[in-house]
Amino acid sequence: MVDQNKIVFFDTTLRDGEQSPGCTMHHDEKLRMAHQLTDLGVDILEAGFAIASHGDFESVRAIASEIRGPRIASLARCKREDIEAAARATEPADRSRIHIFLSTSDLHLAAKLQITREQALDQIAEMVAFARTLVDDIEFSPEDATRTNPDFLVKVCEVAIQAGATTLNLPDTVGYCVPQDYADMFRMVRERVPGIENIVLSAHCHDDLGLAVANTIAAIDAGVRQVECAINGIGERAGNAALEEIAAVLTVRHDRFPFQHNIVMNQIFATSQMLSQCISFGAAPNKAIVGANAFAHAAGIHQHGVMVNPLTYEIMTPESVGVPKNSLVLGKHSGRRALEHRFVELGHTLSKEQLNEVYARFTELADRKKTIYDQDLLGLLQPDRAAVTVS
């Protein structure tokens, strides 16, 4: 029975995320991230692609052996050897899943697989049924679902369900959809596929047009109850839907999306930071939720408002996602209130006249210097020391 009141988080940081350039992780890093993702509260942890290499197989098996809590999944092509490898790798887990995929768009069938639609249906039926003899939890993904002929997609879903799939994931593999298109596809299969009411529908979106999270949220509106995502939005090409953004939408806009989920929100920042340590880059400064600027304020009007009441410019507290605190960044756009506030923090209470004098020197310096340090501010208190080196 599908719980319509809960959104299940399927994390693919260690599989789709790790497949992207600059994101490769070695065995110990994957295991460390798996423990942190467990602390974060993900429901399904896609640990890797077992058939891809001996190292990936061993990482999946180690995670399946050590991690308790999330269901452990391994990806597999629609091939017997892939499915057998996924089953062996995830066998030590308390709860395991085999995630099978096969391309279904005419473009992929002709150019990549060189098979007909009928051959694809036969392969899906045979391999999903085989996988079901090994484990009870089977997810099937028709790769490039959003560019698949709608009538054929309906048939694919029917065949996968009849063969024993328990979750159907309809991925926007190349990030082609806009939200309305993606939602309409799910509504269409829900109306036309027999037995789909007993199946968990899943969304897996890529960010090629910058719409991965928006498409995922639209899919939830259309009845999807599993979301596939990655920390910091890492993944093939432009990345996957960002787990932290989806979770924040569901939390901040609970009025609009009244669903339960298991994500431990105050673990988000720690998880993001750990991933940044494991791979070759961190989140962009302007990245929602976890970027360095997500809770930083530079404009004077904003700084004033946040000092009076943070809700004026923050729709969630930094602490709610594990960020220690917000920050007021002093620069040429800052106002007197922010400057006065920083001087108080540094142990200097200024009169109104002193503040006006120092503020005049501060704005002159800020026009010449991109980064203002505390020692620069202290130098402004003494005009003869205020000639600070510009960098």
350 part of a folded domain? yes
The domain spanning residue 350 has which CATH number?
Answer: 1.10.238
Q: Which of 28-32, 146-150, 178-182, 321-325 has the lowest mean pLDDT?
A: 321-325
What DSSP character marks residue 13? I
The pTM for the full model equals 0.87
**Same domain, residue pair 46 and 13:** yes
pLDDT at 385 over 60: no
Using alpha carbons, select from 69, 62, 23, 19 the residue that is nearest to residue 267: 69
Tell me the residue range of the domain where 305 lies.
296-385
Q: How confident is the model at residue 386 (pLDDT cuts 50, 70, 90)?
A: very low
- Residues 307, 273, single domain; the answer is no
Query: Count of CB atoms within 10 A of residue 166's CB?
Result: 19
**273 and 326 inside one domain:** no
Angle at 228 between CA 169 and CA 119, to 5 degrees: 25
What is the rounded distance in angstroms from the CA atom of residue 163 to the CA atom of residue 161?
A: 5
The pLDDT assigned to 361 comes to: 86
Domain harbouring 237, CATH code:
3.20.20.70
- 142 and 232 in a single domain? The answer is yes
> Are 222 and 338 in the same domain?
no
pLDDT in tens, 76-96: 999 999 999 999 999 999 999
* Domain end (from 278, 310, 330): 278
Distances (CA, A) of 159 to 164, 171, 176: 9, 17, 25
* Burial 36-49, CB ≥16 within 10 A → b, else e: bbbebbbbbbbbbb
Chain-wide mean pLDDT for the chain? 92
How do beta strands 71-77 and 44-48 pair?
parallel
Distance CA(140)–CA(127), nearest Å, equals: 10
Do residues 326 and 183 share a domain?
no
In terms of Cα–Cα distance, which of 280, 333, 323, 279 is closest to 302? 333
Which tokens is 329 given?
């960044």
Last residue of a domain, one of 247, 278, 309: 278
Q: For the chain, first and last CA: distance in Å?
A: 62
Residues 165 and 206 in one domain: yes
Residues 247 and 136 in one domain: yes
Dihedral, CA of residue 232, residue 238, residue 240 and residue 245, to nearest 10: 50
Number of domains in the chain: 2
328 contacts 341 by C-beta, under 8 angstroms: yes
Band the pLDDT of 300: cuts 50, 70, 90. Answer: low
Cα 298 to Cα 231: distance, rounded to the nearest angstrom? 27
The two tokens of residue 186 are: 């799910």
pLDDT in tens, 260-279: 999 999 999 999 999 999 99
> Does a structural domain hold residue 360?
yes
What mean pLDDT comes out for the span 336-340? 84
Q: Is the residue at 38 inside a domain?
A: yes
pLDDT tens-digit readout, 148-193: 999 999 999 999 999 999 999 999 999 999 999 999 999 999 999 9
Tell me the C-alpha distance between 114 and 264, whole Å. 44
Vertex 234, ends 229 and 149: CA angle to 5°? 60
Q: Where is average pLDDT lowest: 58-67, 146-155, 339-348? A: 339-348
pLDDT band at 237 (very low <50, low <70, confident <90, very high): very high
In a domain, 118, yes or no: yes
156 shares a domain with 28: yes
Looking at per-residue pLDDT, the higher value among 149 and 312 belongs to 149
Q: 174 with 228, same domain?
A: yes
The type of residue at 157 is: C
Q: Are residues 267 and 303 in the same domain?
A: no
Give domain status of residue 289, yes or no: no
Domain C-terminal end among 245, 278, 311: 278
Q: Say yes or no: 332 and 375 in one domain.
A: yes
> Is 388's pLDDT higher than 60?
no
